[in-house]
Amino acid sequence: MTQDHNDNSTELDDELDRKALENARDVVKKRFPEMVKGYLEDADKYIEKIRQGVLDNDAQEIAQNAHPLKSASFGLGVNRVASIAKDIEQRAKDAIEQQADIDDLQELLAGLENALARVRPRLENELPND
């Protein structure tokens, strides 16, 4: 998860794919603000459950919550969150398949929380002021 923090433009593109976001806006039209709010609420909920799953070494719980976070994030163009969620889901699924303890996910989880924290204000900027 190392990133060249001097390369700000690349980093921002990786965080939020505007084309995908505009595509989503085009699909849902007036419900776009509701969808963005819903995404952020769900993302918090999924990350909380992943965090709990890591504490409990519960790979099933981790995979079940990383999976929808991954697909919803890809749908809205929140690509870094999607990419980390995908890695977490894969690690959890590997652990389930091998009936093994899940590898240390603390670093990925911290990256996930950080990625969401960085993109949140950009998504909130898409909401109307009320």
Partner 1 sequence: MSDILVVENDKTHRIVIEQIITDLGWNVHSVDNGQSALNEISKNPSQYALVIMDWEMPGLDGLATVRQLRNQQMEYGWPYIPVIAFTGNNSPGDKEKCREAGMDDYLSKEIFQPLVKRYYLTDKITYWLDVATKKKKEQ
Residues at the contact surface with partner 1, assessed by CB under 8 A: 20, 23-24, 27-29, 31, 34-35, 38-39, 41-42, 64, 67-68, 70-72, 74-76
Q: How far is the CB of 20 from partner 1 (least distance, A)?
A: 6
Nearer to partner 1, 23 or 106 (CB): 23
Residue 27 CA from chain centroid, whole number: 21
- Shortest distance, CB of residue 38 to partner 1, whole angstroms? 3
Cβ count near 105 (within 10 Å): 23
* Number of other residues whose CB lies within 10 A of the CB of residue 42: 15
CB nearer to partner 1: pick between 3 and 60 = 60
Closest CA relative to residue 103, chosen from 81, 86, 87: 87
